[in-house]
């Protein structure tokens, strides 16, 4: 099975519409021509579940299914897992004796010095390419009011795992929230699964596959440029948010004008 940070061999140039002030992106490594299949997706959900148990000491189904947490809290707990995956090659983890009062996680991730971003091996990860594209993303630039000069700069600005997820959400929200055709197709597939008697909020990997998660994951990767770079478990995390927490909750949170400050840990 492929490792989380393994960079696929297929390379292309990611084309996005950029403003005149934003440099043209360099060639990056994309995920796959055909983004996923059931085996890929099942492996991705398994990895996401393993990470949830490592971070929260709870399986993924419990993380997103706690009835004493509101939708935003559950969204951010899954979002933090995505942020951990983005941050992993450039951070040092530390086990905590008790759960963080802010994130409820039992591990912290301390960002490494800038030299970690200069390592050739680190620069050959999907995480590094993702940070490079995020710092050039016109929506990210607009939301911050400036362009970060390097991958390290945007990582330092994001700092916490929720911050990394926040930048990814900013890059995705134009498509997930602003593209009515994409949103309608996602909702059509979810409604089709419900009519077939499938509980779309159930988080069993095989249930997700039966509910159309693979085809929706393929649709997202084909429609959202940044998702052509990230690893399969990141896309699986977004699918969990869409299926279990809902697009409305994601778009409400991602459209918050104070989104960046909301990702800071205090």
Please count the residues of the chain: 266
User: Cβ distance 66 to 74 under 8 Å?
Assistant: yes
Helices (H), 117-231: 120-123, 126-136, 138-144, 151-158, 161-176, 180-195, 205-210, 213-223
The pLDDT tens digits of the residues spanning 219-233 come to 999 999 999 999 999
Chain mean pLDDT for the chain: 83
What percentage of the chain carries pLDDT values higher than 90? 62
User: Cβ distance 41 to 236 under 8 Å?
Assistant: yes
Q: Retrieve residue 87's tokens.
A: 């941050």
Q: Is the dihedral of CA 36, 39, 44, 49 positive or negative?
A: positive
Half-sphere exposure of 44 (CA within 13 A, CB side): 26
The pLDDT tens digits of the residues spanning 85-128 come to 999 999 999 999 999 998 899 999 999 999 999 999 999 999 99
Q: Which pLDDT belongs to residue 203?
A: 64
Q: pTM to 2 decimals? A: 0.84
The pLDDT tens digits of the residues spanning 32-54 come to 444 467 888 889 999 999 999 99
Domain range summary for the chain, segments of one domain joined by +: 25-262
């Amino acid at each position: 099975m492929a490792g989380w940070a393994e960079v696929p061999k297929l390379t292309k140039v990611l084309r996005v519409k950029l403003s005149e002030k934003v440099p043209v992106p360099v060639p990056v490594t994309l995920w796959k021509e055909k983004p996923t299949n059931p085996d890929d997706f099942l492996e991705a959900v398994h990895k996401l579940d393993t990470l949830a148990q490592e971070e929260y000491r709870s399986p993924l189904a419990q993380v997103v299914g706690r009835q004493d947490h509101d939708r935003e809290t559950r969204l951010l707990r899954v979002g933090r897992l995505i942020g951990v995956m983005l941050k992993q090659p450039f951070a040092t983890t530390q086990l905590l004796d008790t759960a963080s009062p802010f994130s409820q996680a039992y591990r912290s991730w301390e960002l490494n010095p800038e030299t970690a971003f200069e390592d050739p091996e680190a620069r050959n990860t999907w995480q590094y390419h993702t940070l490079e594209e995020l710092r050039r993303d016109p929506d990210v630039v607009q939301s911050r009011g400036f362009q970060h000069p390097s991958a390290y700069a945007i990582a330092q600005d994001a700092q916490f795992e929720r911050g990394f997820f926040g930048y990814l959400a900013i890059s995705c929200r134009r498509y997930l929230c602003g593209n009515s055709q994409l949103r309608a197709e996602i909702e059509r597939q979810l409604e089709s699964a419900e009519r077939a008697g499938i509980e779309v909020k159930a988080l069993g990997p095989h249930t997700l596959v039966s509910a159309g998660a693979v085809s929706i994951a393929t649709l997202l990767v084909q429609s959202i440029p940044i998702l052509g770079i990230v690893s399969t478990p990141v896309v699986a995390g977004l699918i969990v948010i869409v299926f279990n927490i809902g697009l409305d909750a994601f778009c409400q949170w991602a459209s918050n004008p104070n989104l960046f400050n909301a990702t800071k840990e205090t």
